[in-house]
A = this chain, B = another copy of it.
């Protein structure tokens, strides 16, 4: 196939678009791949659509290889299934809703769990029908509060979403692993540098979950990785190693001290070290900070108090706390809450008053039996020292709520954690029975008893991948596509006004095309300078310059990525290129 620049619907831009924050956005617009229509809504121009389709083809191949079957749902979906699972309200503002002419409620599908579940229920009934994996590559909609970065976070975007349906947990684990392996193949083929991070489940409920993040400083997702192992995780998913418990016997007694004006950890530590004269040096890590929140379970109206104890040298990370408590809602206490519960002495809260008043109290995993703490004595200007966990107080459980810091030990015991940023390109997730419970999806087992089906949910951000690849594959001159996704295999530049040069370029393009090579042919009436600049910007991996050298029987082949140039005899150029591009 030959695509002629002289007629291609492509106009490159010399200037960056005003709203572009990240390189992929800047370059995809400048190189004429996409155009903005509305906030988070983009048009795919011919070259952009080709890259998108190339990615879709890779995804489709690898999904087919694990036996997944492609189907396609509408994007315009009725309210009822989403009401049955509670997501009609849970989605809040982030879903586009509309009414038809008869006033019936619809939404534009953000994900299709409900529809996949109902469809399998509609067709299948026996255990012999299972397992099955279904997927679609579909346009999806989310009313993002801040659509940003071009197609990195759009409001209309293309996703591959698949769902596995299994009879038991072992089957689900197999389907999950099949997807994990398929995703590795997909992202490897697409030339991406990515990490697989342990992830929390998000709003979808369930258990095991991992995200595929394309490594990019412009990414929206923060994750941590180990300096010495391949451990990587979302901050929300980092688990805190618990130290070994310590003996309770023979430890100093807990003692209440008058600690005037010490409502913060900083003032407390300062007082202990300079005023209290306890013969020891205290650090913030020796104190136990008790943060009060209120929690409301889904579908309930009542808020319940919860005390969260973390070492005083760390803040509570609300995102980690929320993730730990999902699907419940969490909120900090306000003044009215404190007024309603006078046993909560602000700045001096301790485990004692919580236990005495039946308030649930959970602690950081570092707070193990035998650890001694300085903490509030439930009385203004008083703290207790040497309060021993397991002797003087017994938490109701542990919770991942304390902030994660660079330098923290890696949960796998190897190395320490460092922070990095990435773009979420894939998500695999053992969803379990949330949706099959909601819609009562059972298979009739071999013993004629119903078996509740268990599900996995797996997504690839197909249109986002175009941007993620561009983030990783560009330089100051433009895009540098990996072969698997490039809009053409070879960019043939006719550099010169000479008829012989034009004919030479045309002949090479025709011969390449006949060999199955996809050629972008710059046959425009433009200066070589303009053509070279556009070739760098557009980013086809191999550039062939047909110019003055032709008279000496050579053309130049340039590697877009390395910039390496090579003169090749015109008689050898077809074989050379066919081999190079692997057609």
Contacts and interface: CB of A to CB of B under 8 A. Distances in A.
A52 B76 CA distance: 19
Given A37-B115, A101-B143, A44 B67 contact: no
Assign chain A's interface to a size class: 35 or more
B98 A7 contact: no
Nearest to A94: B101
A7 B44 contact: no
Q: Which interface residue of A115, A123, A134 has the most chain B CB atoms within 10 A?
A: A123
Nearest to A116: B43
Given A11-B124, A44-B71, A119 B38 contact: no
B75 A75 contact: yes
Contacts of A38: 74, 76-78, 106
A75 B35 CA distance: 14
Given A9-B69, A156-B74, A35 B106 contact: no
Interface string A22-42: 000000000010010111011
Copies of the polypeptide in the assembly: 2
A44 B72 contact: yes
A182 interface: no
A566 interface: no
A253 interface: no
B74 A43 contact: yes
A66 interface: no
Given A96-B98, A134-B9, A145-B101, A122 B35 contact: yes
Contacts of A440: none
Contact of A71 (B46, B75, B98, B115): B46
Contacts of A72: 43-44, 49, 52
Contacts of A156: 74-76
A140 to B, nearest CB: 11
Contacts of A543: none
Given A101-B145, A115-B37, A122-B35, A71 B9 contact: yes
A141 interface: yes
Nearest to A8: B69
A67 B67 CA distance: 37
Interface in A81-112: 93-94, 96-98, 100-101, 106, 108
Interface string A562-583: 0000000000000000000000
A70 interface: yes
A291 interface: no
A7 B124 contact: no
A139 B155 CA distance: 16
A9 B132 contact: yes
A45 interface: yes
Nearest to A120: B9
A71 B97 contact: no
A73 interface: yes
A41 B76 contact: yes
Contacts of A73: 37, 43
Contacts of A43: 71-74, 115, 119
Nearest to A81: B37
A8 B70 CA distance: 10
A35 B101 contact: no
Contacts of A101: 93-94, 143, 145
B145 A75 contact: no
Contacts of A32: 123
Contact of A11 (B76, B108, B123, B141): B123
A108 B132 CA distance: 33
B45 A71 contact: yes
Contact of A69 (B46, B77, B96, B155): B46
Question: Which of A9, A35, A37, A119 is most buried by chain B, counting CB atoms within 10 A of its CB?
Answer: A9
B139 A75 contact: yes
Contacts of A94: 101
14 contacts: A9-B69, A9-B132, A10-B123, A35-B119, A37-B78, A38-B77, A41-B74, A41-B76, A43-B71, A76-B108, A76-B156, A93-B101, A98-B108, A100-B143
Cβ-closest 10 pairs across A and B: A98-B98, A41-B74, A44-B72, A93-B101, A38-B78, A11-B123, A74-B156, A9-B69, A46-B69, A101-B143
